[in-house]
Structures are given as C-alpha cells and as structure tokens.
Structure 1
Amino acid sequence: MPLTVQRSNHEVKPALWMAAVFLKRLTLQIIKTEKNYTRRCFGKYIMQKTVPAPLSLIASAPRLSYLIRAKAFSTVEDTQDERKKKKKNETAFSNIGRKINERIIHVLDEKGNDLGNMHRANVIRLMDERDLRLVRRNPGTEPPQYQLMTGIQIHEERLRLRASGKARPTPGPTLTKELTFSSNIGQHDLDTKSKQIQQWIEKKYKVQITIKKGKNAEEPENKIEEIFNHILQTMPGIATFSSRPQSVKGGKAVMCVLRHLSKKEEDAYRETQGTQKGDTLNRENRIEN
C-alpha cells in the first residue's frame, strides 16, 4: 500500500502565503511591462504625427540639390581660373620647351635672323642640335612667330622687361577736388584756399572751383574773374585752366577747373622764363651803357 504523507496546517499555510506573494509580484511585473510597452508605442505614434516624415524628406531634398549645384558652379569657376592662368602664362616671356601647339611656325634664330616657316619637328631637331630654347615672340601672327634663344639670352631679356616695367609709370585715375566759396571772401581766407589748391595741384589733382556771386549790388562784374586770376598767379609754372571760367546755376555762380601743367608745358614755361630773363638783362645792359 502507498504511503500517504499528511502535512499539518502549520506546514501548508506558509507555502500558500509564499505562492500568493510570488503570484502578486509576477502580476505587478506584467502590468509594469505592459505600461512601458504601451507608453513606447503611443509615444512613437505621437512623434510620427507631430513631425511627419514626408515633410522632413521634402525639406532636405532642396539642400542636397543646392549643394550639388554649388559644387558644379565651383567647378566651372575653377576651370575658368585655370584657363585665365594658362592664357597668362602663354603670353609671358618664357621658354615653352618642346610643347609646340602649332604645326607650322615662323622662326627667328638666336641672332634675330629670319629662318622662315618651319615644321615643329624640324624646330625641335634644330633646338637639340644647337642646345637652344624656344620662346614666343608674336603669337598673334599667322603663323605665330617664335625665336630660338640661349638660356643667357632669355635671362637677359627677362631682366630688361622687368626693368622697363618698373621704369614705366603706372597710370592712375585723375581725381578731382571741389571747392566752393563766395565772391565776398576776405583776403586772408582767399590766401588760405589758394594754398590748399596749390597743394592739390602739386599732387596732380584737378581742382574744380565754384565761386558764388555776392548779393552786393555794387560788386564789379569782373570780380570773380579777378579772383580766378589771382589764384592762378599764386602757382606760376604749376597750374593752368583745364576748363575756363563759365557761368553755372543759372548765372548765380562761376566755375572753372585747374590742372597741373604737363611735362611739355613745363618745359615751354621754363624756356619762356629764360628768354624773358635774357631780354631783361640785355635791356639793363643797354641802359647802363
């Protein structure tokens, strides 16, 4: 007969209590897990509704195309810069080596003698035989003109071109200074303005002078003209009229423009002054004799 184990009430109650506690904890853990899962699902759904994915894709597309266009445009600019640099290098005086783009060229030898039109293969062979270099002389002719030169000749020619470039003055824009005052100006103020005008003229500025007519009815008609002549007389051998006095503003003012004398005008002025001094000395010698 099988043995039957009978437990007392004191042994059964603790076991039931522990099982109930385990089931309660398991239930709470399941509820907590379900809440977290629900929160994650609803949160993801809410974010998708708030920031729609198609909108972000549409917004990013133009930026991508813009970057592509900018890159392409930059590439075109780089190509243009390279072409300009290449063109500048082609026009510079330098040895072109053995890279002759034209098939037939007009050639001068190292002494300047005309060798006529030659095929580039013959030119290269001549360079090798005489140990010479080839430089462009006039690429605008047809066929373009080249010259065979030694390395020393190329160096000397570069030095000559550099020296002539430094000696040649760089032309710049002629600036114009403007000055306006009344014909009632005092002598002290007029002398001050005349000095200012002279300083501008010596710096090779043009000076536009506008003199307004005074309201004094007794003012002489030629007063403004006398003022212009006075200003010009303070700068003998320096300035002259670029534009002679003329009425402006409906006759209420007179304007003229002064400029610095050219080199030719300065030489002519010195010759005139020398002739006048010679005539004065001769006249004084006649009076003394």
Structure 2
Amino acid sequence: MAALFLKRLTLQTMKTDNTCIRRRLGTYVVRKTALAEPPHTASAPRPSCLIHTATFSTEVDQDKRGKKAKQETAFRNVGRKINERIIQVLDEKGNDLGPMHRANVIRLMAEQDLRLVPRDPGAQPPRYQLMTGTQIYQERLRLRGMERAEPKPGPTLTKELTFSSNIGQHDLDTKSKQIQHWIEKKYKVQITIKKGKNTEEPENKMEEICNQILQTMPGIATFSSRPQLIRGGKAVMCVLRPLSQKEENECRSALGTQRGDALKRGNGNDGASNALHQ
C-alpha cells in the first residue's frame, strides 16, 4: 500500500516538473523571437512643420492687378526699362521718328538727355515719346488739373414734393421754381399730385400739371418716370431728372436750329412784304 502511494506521488511530481519546464521553455522562446524580429507597430508620427502660406483672396488679387494696370498706363518715365524690342518713337516736339530699336532709343536718350514716356502702349508697335524733365512736370500738372476739374460721381439724391390738383397758378409757379432749383443742383424730383375734391375736373388734369411743370424747364430736365396713376387712381406720380451732358448738347443744337428757322421765316416774310410795297 505504501509502495503504491509512493509510486503515484513520484508520477505526480514528474508531471508537475515537466509542466513547469515546458512553461519556462516556452517563455524563453517567445522572448528570443520578440528580440530577433523587428517590431511591426507603426512609428509615432513626427510633428508636422508649420508652413506659412499667403491666404488666397480673389479681391486682393484683383486689387493688385488693378493697381498694376493703373501704374502701367499712368504717365511716367520708363527710363531704360523698355520691354519691347521695336517701338514707335515721337520726339519732344511730337514729330514721328518712326519705328526704332530700343538700343537706338536708349542711345538717343543719353545723347540728348531726354526721358521716355508711354503714349500708347497697346499700339503695334507701342508708341512712346521722348520728353524733357520740364515737359514731364508740366504734363503731370495738366493731367492733375483735369482730374480735379472732372466732377466726381456720387449718389443721386431725390427730393419729394406733394400737392393737390386744385393748386392755384401762383402756387404752381412757385413750386415749379423750387423744382427747377433742385434740378439745377442735380437732384431727382419725385412729384405726387393728389386728385382734388372737385369731381368735375378733367380726368387727365393731374397728368397735364406734370407736363406743364416740365415745360417750364426746357433744356434742363426730362422725365425719369412718366406720370402714372397710383393709390387706385386718386393720385399721379412722376419723377423728373436733370439732363445728361449729351442730352443738353442735343437740346441746345435743336433749339439753335429752331431759332435759325424762325429767323429765316421772319426774313422771308419781311422780304415778301417789301416786294409788295415796291
């Protein structure tokens, strides 16, 4: 009995030892393999470098292009920086020297102490003029004076005027003078004429008043918006505006033609009457 117990204890001990050995051997093999093979894990990402780039903006690019184009077309001395190989050259008096090579132009500038300014860069070949420093200064003063003399476009303001169709002739004349004063100051005038309480007045009386006001300002104003019924036919509204420069010139020429025709007709009548008297 004791011998059987000892045998079983020996076998159990052997199994336990073998299991421990296998475990330790497996751990050793795994460690060696891990050291031998390179790690398959991804390397940590490196911090990216910050690159400063210009912000894209269409408006900024357009402004830059506009400024560049304005500088290119401005009146200036180009010096020796002639981009074109052949250019059309004018002398300081405006005489045409014909097409010239830029090397010859530079030599001419050095010999006569002249500057080169663009006159028509878009022509083929581009047109330039030789000028003295005094001429360039005087031309710049002239261009600056022209810029100051040109009226700067601004917002067109509108004046409003409202009155009844029962208005008297004296009051209508006063309002017409006020409207003409505004028109001369380049204002638009919105006129609203309300229908009077008198039901016997003509239906088109309000429109006739608008036309009558316009007739007091020949060659000065015209309709920006013709008379039209509003408020369910209880009022008429129109807008007068000042004439443009082109319209003023056309009106003056038309008035001059009419006066000339009237004078011719008057002279013809006088001649006929003189012939009858003779």
* TM-score category (smaller protein): 0.5 to 0.7
Q: Give the Cα separation in 2 of the matches to 1:76 and 1:257.
A: 40
Q: Which amino acid aligns with 1:130?
A: Q
Other-structure match for 1:132: 114
Structure 1 residue aligned with 2:71, among 56, 80, 89?
89
For the aligned residue pairs, the C-alpha RMSD in angstroms reads 4.2
Mapping 1:30-41, distance limit 5 Å = none
Structure 1 spans left out of the alignment, 5+ residues = 1-60, 280-289
Other-structure match for 1:118: 100
Q: How far did 1:140 drift? A: 0.8
Q: How far did 1:141 drift? A: 1.0
Q: How far did 1:99 drift? A: 0.8
Question: Larger deviation: 101-110 or 184-193?
Answer: 184-193
Equivalent residues, number: 214
Q: Give the Cα separation in 1 of the matches to 2:207 and 2:59.
A: 58
Identity of aligned residues (%): 73
Structure 2 spans left out of the alignment, 5+ residues = 1-46, 267-278
Q: Give the Cα separation in 1 of the matches to 2:229 and 2:57.
A: 57
Q: How far did 1:80 drift? A: 5.5
Mapping 1:178-189, distance limit 5 Å = 178-184=160-166
Q: Which amino acid aligns with 1:199?
A: H
Q: How far did 1:74 drift? A: 6.8
The verdict on how the C-alpha distance between 1:91 and 1:175 changes in structure 2, with shifts beyond 3 A counting, is same
Other-structure match for 2:200: 218
Match of 2:147, SS state, is helix
Structure 2 residue aligned with 1:227, among 188, 200, 209?
209
Q: Give the Cα separation in 2 of the matches to 1:233 and 1:253.
A: 21
Q: Does 1:148 align with 2:134?
A: no
Other-structure match for 1:72: 54
The verdict on how the C-alpha distance between 1:113 and 1:218 changes in structure 2, with shifts beyond 3 A counting, is closer
Q: How far did 1:165 drift? A: 2.7
The verdict on how the C-alpha distance between 1:242 and 1:121 changes in structure 2, with shifts beyond 3 A counting, is same
Q: Which amino acid aligns with 1:212?
A: K
The verdict on how the C-alpha distance between 1:72 and 1:270 changes in structure 2, with shifts beyond 3 A counting, is same
Q: Which amino acid aligns with 1:91?
A: T
The verdict on how the C-alpha distance between 1:109 and 1:181 changes in structure 2, with shifts beyond 3 A counting, is same
Residue pair 1:201, 1:207 contacting (<8 A) in 2 also = yes
Structure 1 residue aligned with 2:150, among 157, 162, 168?
168
The verdict on how the C-alpha distance between 1:73 and 1:203 changes in structure 2, with shifts beyond 3 A counting, is same
Structure 1 residue aligned with 2:81, among 94, 99, 107?
99
Residue pair 1:238, 1:266 contacting (<8 A) in 2 also = no
Match of 1:135, SS state, is strand
Match of 2:124, SS state, is coil
Q: Which amino acid aligns with 1:107?
A: V
Q: Give the Cα separation in 1 of the matches to 2:251 and 2:58.
A: 52
Q: How far did 1:129 drift? A: 1.6
Q: Give the Cα separation in 1 of the matches to 2:95 and 2:200.
A: 80
Q: Give the Cα separation in 1 of the matches to 2:160 and 2:254.
A: 28
Q: How far did 1:102 drift? A: 1.7
Mapping 1:227-246, distance limit 5 Å = 227-228=209-210, 231-232=213-214, 239=221, 241=223, 244-246=226-228
Q: How far did 1:139 drift? A: 0.8
The verdict on how the C-alpha distance between 1:235 and 1:116 changes in structure 2, with shifts beyond 3 A counting, is closer
Residue pair 1:241, 1:259 contacting (<8 A) in 2 also = yes
Q: Give the Cα separation in 2 of the matches to 1:255 and 1:75.
A: 46
